[in-house]
Structure 1
Amino acid sequence: MSHLQGKRILLTRTKEQNKNTAQQLKAIGAIPVYLPCIQIDYLKENIQQALKKIQADNPSNTDIIFSSSNGVKAVATCVHHLKKSLQGFRIIAVGHKTAQTLAEHGCTPAFIPEEASQKGLIAAYQQQNLPQQVYFFRAEEGSDDLLRALKQQGVDTLLIPSYRASCPNDDATPIINQLRNKAIDAVLLGSAKTAAFYVQRIANLNLANTPVIAVMSPQVEKAADKLGLKVQIIANKPSFRAMLQGLNDYFATQDKG
């Protein structure tokens, strides 16, 4: 990714997530610039109520589904040992990053859908024995496709809103000034929510559109378009590495021109 050498790239995930992406950027000679546009708040009361119910259930016919790393981390804050608390239950991870976070807490997913999405999990369940009931830990807002699909097949489902994404309110003036001075080459937007909060934090659509905008997926592009953002790059798969590769290819074309 030599064409990202020296490029200043705005990172908009949570502070913790930005650190990981920044390491990838530094490794290829790019310069990370930080503007966290997502703040994660754990909904512990919801989680604790669900955990009480889980402890009274039969592990042999109950699945525990995590759709994101944030969901795993949220539940882990409410127990002493996540592995012990979920012992015997079939655990499902939507995506390898979620599976990795589970592994960090000693939990091994029974399976991971090929496509890291609810639709991917619906497809994967067609190859598995369906449980009698499911606990689904996810964000407060999200798709209900999985719940509907399982209910249609007679599975008792319980959605547990485990965390909430909100917009940080710290001063964004230094970043706004950099945008005004065209000192930022590109911005990475990993979700529709991040895109919305990015626009909210900059509070000026023309400035928000100043850098090259790269998004995680066509769904994020659609949401960004509704916000008035002009997306140049859509990752060919839902990962930040794919976003960076798309960004590299874009600048390669610009360099030739």
Structure 2
Amino acid sequence: MTNPLHGQRILVTRPAHQAQGQAERLRALGADPVLLPCLEIQPVDEGTPEYLRAKCCVLDLDLYHSVIFVSANAARLGAEWIDQYWPQLPLRINWLAIGQRTAETLADHGITAFHSTAGYDSEALLESNLLHDVSGEKILIMRGADGREKLAVTLRERGARVDYADLYRRRCPRYSDSELQQALLPTPDAVLATSGEGLDNLSSLAAQWLQPLQSAQLVVPSQRIALKAEQLGWRQVRVAQGPDDRAMIQALAPDLDLDSDS
């Protein structure tokens, strides 16, 4: 079948700056992608406590044994920070990324980072040998403010000293009723949601249309988010192999070979 998703209305909830690639892939498969970003990524404002703490961490980058980037957004913004203060990367640092997409974003900025092939979350990265024996080591986590604590808590339990560089905040976008109605009516055939926070925001934004929306196929990137979705009332939840565009779309059409789809 040339267009296996022909005529399907697919709601794309990625942040606006990350949604176009997913939409283009869906369109190439015959779908009608509808963009409704459910997260805004806002870099921390200059002069705020988060900004000053992040700057101190980056200036002291060569004091860390390992630097971990938790997302593609953290990789993009973190690499920009590092480039600003370090014309040459400091030596003897273990660069680590959560997920292939995060590692690829770092590679685009000249940073070669390890990522686990066993999963796309903190739990998978914590299983890597690089983070098993970290007693006494100093580790920096680059992330969005108020993110999950699992990574830092576990590393501290293993004896590491962990600092955060909070590079951005995630916010729920604002839409008019007419914008929401245009996106949510008629009810999409499927929804792609790559984060639990984005799913919460969608539930809030779409409150007026939530009951019919929750009958649509929902694709999420992990069992953790799938459980959250079911608790929120979604009835058809499918778990993709990861949060990247290809994996999320593959979950919509499991029998389709997307290997050649770049």
TM-score, normalised relative to structure 1: 0.83
Q: Is the 8 A contact 2:14 2:37 kept in 1?
A: yes
Determine whether 1:95 maps to 2:108. no
Displacement of 1:138:
1.3
Using the TM superposition, give the Cα deviation of residue 125 of structure 1 relative to its aligned residue in structure 2, in angstroms. Answer: 3.3
- Find the partner of 1:169 among 163, 168, 174: 174
C-alpha contact (below 8 Å) 1:132/1:156 kept by paired residues:
yes
Q: Counterpart in 1 of 2:158?
A: 153
CA displacement 1:139-187 (0-9 Å, x = unmatched): 22333222222222221111222222111102252442563434x3221
Q: Give 2:75's match in structure 1, choosing from 72, 76, 85.
A: 72
Higher helix share: 1
Which residue number in structure 2 is paired with residue 226 of structure 1?
231
Q: Which amino acid aligns with 2:111?
A: C
AA matched with 1:74: L
**Aligned counterparts, 1:1-257, within 5 A:** 2-44=3-45, 45=48, 46-56=50-60, 58-59=62-63, 62-78=65-81, 80-81=83-84, 84=87, 86-88=89-91, 89-109=93-113, 111-114=114-117, 115-125=119-129, 130=134, 132-177=137-182, 179-182=184-187, 184-204=188-208, 205-249=210-254
Distance 1:173 1:210, change over 3 A: farther
Aligned residues: 248
Counterpart position of 1:255 = none
Letter in 2 for 1:70: N
In structure 2, do the counterparts of structure 1 residues 200 and 250 end up closer, same or farther at CA, with 3 Å as the change threshold?
farther
Distance change in 2, residues 1:124/1:239 (3 Å): same
RMSD: 2.8
Q: Structure 1's 181 and 29: CA in aligned 2 closer, same or farther, altered over 3 A? A: closer
Give the counterpart letter for 2:6 in structure 1: Q
| Conservation of the 8 A alpha-carbon contact between 1:179 and 1:211 | no
| Alignment correspondent of 2:260 | none
The code of the aligned residue for 2:217 comes to V
For 1:146, the aligned partner's letter is L
CA deviation map 1:47-97 (0-9, x unaligned):
4423324434644x5211101111122334545547637422332111111
1:118: how far off?
1.1
* Residues 138 and 160, structure 2, Cα contact 8 Å, conserved in 1: yes
Aligned 8 A contact 1:186 1:211 in 2: yes
Please say if residues 99 and 116 of structure 2, whose CA atoms lie closer than 8 Å, have aligned partners that are also in contact. Answer: yes
Alpha-carbon deviation of 1:7? 1.4
Q: Are the structure 2 counterparts of residues 53 and 212 from structure 1 closer, same or farther at C-alpha, using a change threshold of 3 Å?
A: closer
Give the Cα separation in 1 of the matches to 2:57 and 2:131: 27
